[in-house]
Structure 1
Amino acid sequence: MTDYDIMSPPKWVGIENYVDMLFDDALFAKSLSNTVIFALLSVPTSIAVGFGLALLLNQKALGESVFRTIIFVPTLVPSVALAIMWLWLFNPQFGVVNGLLWELFGINGPGWLTDEDWSKPTLLLMSLWTVGYGVVIFLAGLQDIPQSLYEAAEIDGASVAQKTRHVTIPLLTPVIFFQLVISIIAIFQIFTAPHVMTGGSGQPAKSLLFYVMYLYRQAFVYMRMGHASGMAWILFLIILVCTLVIFRTSGWVHYSGGERGTTTDT
């Protein structure tokens, strides 16, 4: 609630920072909408892909530990190095991805990170590179499911799809619930990759200007510490509300005790 630029003493302005960002700052609304849209794209996709890969890696097969390691290793790559690597791969002029599209299919690839329509899907593809964390968590949940339940389902004549639907997914709902909460908290704080790849500008057409990127610019580029702190409080409230809504609507979660959706079961 102050006007503070580090160099001079803070000046009390009350709710002026909040009024400014909510009613006069178009980039605030743009950064928030970008973040919400990307969250709606990224969270269900990452959970679905992580669950699918975990199902495959949970099968007893030769070299299963090797494949699990291959899936997890990309998560160890530093975020900045990862962003630079994908920036090169998706370069529209000399990038490897567009080169392969032309060589194999005769297709002129899109602009990827230079095209407003493709920028978010491209970032979504990049984010799947680090899905290994979720895969490990899903694998732990899968290995905790009693085999006797699958054997009983087989005796009843259940197919693979039916066992997945009626045994695996219900017993994995606590893991899905955990992944949902953690993913939403993380995605609202997305910063490193889009900041490195766009130089903090959020181009093209501000389509990659996310909330924390704009908060950073307010604080350390424009030196508006009071405005940036107000944005941080709004981000805290958004994440808090989203988390509370998820907990309040957790009736779909099946815990091992047989009850649903109460926090005491956890």
Structure 2
Amino acid sequence: MKKKTWIGLAFASPWLLGFLAFTLYPLLASFYYSFTSFNIFQSPEFIGFANYTELMGDDLFWKSVKNTLYLTAVSTPINLFFSLLIALLLNTKIRGLSIYRTVYYIPTIVPLAATSLLWMWILNPQYGLLNDMLRMVGISGPNWLADPGLSKFSLVLMGLWASGNVMIIFLASLQEVPQSLYESSQIDGANKWRQFWSITIPTISPIILFQLIMQVINNLQYFTQAYFVVSSSALNMPGSGGPENSLLMYAMYLYHNAFIYFKMGKASAMAWILFIIAGIITWLIFRSSKKWVTYGGE
């Protein structure tokens, strides 16, 4: 038995070493650094909760929290609804269905930098595609990315374009719903709307829960699109957060503290605060799931 154990550990050792070196050690190190004054070039100096106290009085920190929570609260339900709608449409029997599925999935494999550039052109107020379409119907389009009131919603639109990963998981779950349930409901006189609410939604509710949690966690870590949009345009204003810092996401401000201001201790404290926020929101979602998630056999 001992020999088999050691053989098993030997096969698992690459993963174990990688976990210890690239996951566990950085995790513990960041926890320690969050209680220190550390700028990478000098040895860390223990300062207790000073980094956390400083963050509580930092206006940019609270601005980044507000922006990120707004994006999470708005983008998550819209993205889930849109992805489920597309999955329902792609679950029908029409000609060329495989082509449509491919077309809707392709944007997810486009690099985020290229996606950001594309949408900066689409949302350009002078020659952008979206405002051109609005002008065709007599509407003067807004300055999407430079307007503090619309800049975050513009990021939500960018996210919808690349929702293929969410869509394809919803599509797979829809195809696993037993057809016998629909046939039985038709005999009882249920229409399509009743079938959707009483059969489809309860059956795929575990998948909705999974997608909800993953979307919340991903949105709380939102970085690439906002950073690229701000850094690659005239929106690169003082603070590097776009107009009135409306695009300053939590992960962006964490990055600024770590690699621009070299306040690694403060950045580590931000990372642990984000971890706690994500943990609390995930716990609340799991608590609420008892009321709306149905598992097989229940």
TM range (shorter): over 0.9
Q: 2:278 aligns with which of 217, 223, 239?
A: 239
The alpha carbon displacement at 1:99 in A equals: 2.1
Identify unmatched segments of 5+ residues in structure 2: 1-34
Structure-2 residue corresponding to 1:216 = 255
Deviations 1:175-218 (A, max 9, x none): 10000111011000000000000117121111110100000000
Query: TM-score normalized by structure 2?
Result: 0.84
Q: For the residues of structure 2 that align with 1:183 and 1:89, how far apart are their CA atoms?
A: 24
Runs of 4+ in 1 over 6 A off after TM superposition: none
Alignment of 1:70-219 (within 5 A): 70-102=103-135, 104-199=136-231, 201-219=240-258
Displacement of 1:90: 0.9
C-alpha deviation, 1:10, in angstroms:
1.2
Query: Aligned pairs, how many?
Result: 256
Q: Counterpart of 1:94 in structure 2: which amino acid?
A: Y
Q: d(CA) in 1 for partners of 2:229 and 2:97?
A: 35
User: How much does 1:106 deviate?
Assistant: 2.4
Question: Per-residue deviation at 1:114?
Answer: 0.5
Match of 1:256 in 2: 296
> What is the TM-score normalised by the length of structure 1?
0.94
Gaps of 5+ in 1: 259-266
Q: Which residue of 2 aligns with 1:264?
A: none
Measured against aligned partners, the alpha-carbon deviations of 1:222-241 in whole angstroms (never above 9, x if no partner) come to 00000000000001111111
Bigger Rg, structure 1 or 2: 2
Q: What is the DSSP-based 3-state SS (H/G/I as helix, E as strand, rest coil) of the residue aligned with 1:113?
A: coil
Cα distance in structure 2, aligned partners of 1:14 and 1:111 = 45
RMSD: 1.0
The one-letter code matched in structure 1 to 2:256 is R
> Deviation at 1:82?
0.5
Q: 2:51 aligns with which of 3, 6, 17?
A: 17
The CA distance in 2 between the partners of 1:202 and 1:176, in whole Å, is: 32
